[in-house]
Amino acid sequence: MAEPIYRRVIVKVSGEALMGPDGASIHQPTLTRIAADLVAAQALGVSIAIVAGGGNIVRGVQVSEKGIPRVTADLMGMLATAMNALALETAIEAAGHTARTMSAVTMPEICETYERRRALRHLEKNRMLVLAGGTGNPFFTTDTTAVLRAAELGAQAVLKATDVDGVYSADPKKDKNAVRYDRLTHQEAIERNLKVMDATAFALARENRMPIIVFSIRESQAIEMVLRGRGHATVVSS
């Protein structure tokens, strides 16, 4: 098998990725499978930090549409990411690897507060990081968080785990004529208003020349295959 093409990555795991067919916010078999895939990928000698989303519990934008102020709704979403991060940390450790949850929102009784130098020390000690709380600010998505943390922590790529096998011109679940892209530039993704990540995340990735690899987390050994450059994915790069 090919050697990993990246040695340090940020894996963005959306909240929806943790849901299963039963409609539960966190589907235990799905959580266990994702954790096993992450541990197998780390065993290749790759340093991994995970940014957890919270959409399976609370999505700030959707909550704000129901009358709750956007700032408050986004704070609720940050708390949801912490719940998912703790679930991922527990599953990763059950799969046999040490993990640490760090949150951009201070909650010392629950997990460590994110601080770049401390996060780097965890990675240097071969611990897997699970990052919660987004950027710690409202109006910024966890996609933007993933790119920001990748730049801060010296990652070589952001791996965006989704329910589909790449970037499409439209939602392939709704539009049977949607076209799948193998490669795109950050600028093309912004200009075409592709919804797989928000424009702020793509713009930050463009400025930092950070590749974004979009793939389906539902496929077996998906993370490992992407790291080896053989996964079925879309690469968004400069």
83 occurs within a structural domain: yes
CATH number of the domain bearing residue 159: 3.40.1160.10
Residues forming beta bridges with residue 191, ordered by sequence position: none
Angle among Cα 136, 139, 140 to the nearest 5 degrees reads 60
User: What string of pLDDT tens digits covers the 238 residues of the chain?
Assistant: 578 999 999 999 999 999 988 778 999 999 999 999 999 999 999 999 999 999 999 887 788 888 899 999 999 999 999 999 999 999 999 999 999 999 999 999 999 999 999 999 999 999 999 999 999 999 999 999 999 999 999 999 999 998 889 999 998 888 989 999 999 999 999 999 998 899 999 999 999 999 999 999 988 889 999 999 888 899 999 8
- Burial label for 22, CB within 10 Å (0-12, 13-18, 19+), is exposed
Task: Look at residue 1 and tell me if it is in a domain.
Answer: no
Residue 2 lies in a domain: no
What b-and-e string marks burial along 139-163, b requiring 16 or more CB atoms within 10 Å of the CB?
ebbbbbbbbbbbbebebbbbbbbbe
Does 87 reside within a domain? yes
pTM value is 0.94
Provide the domain count of the chain. Answer: 1
Quote the CA–CA distance of 61 and 56 in Å, as a whole number: 13
Within-domain flag for 26: yes
- Which domain, by its residues, includes 231? 8-237
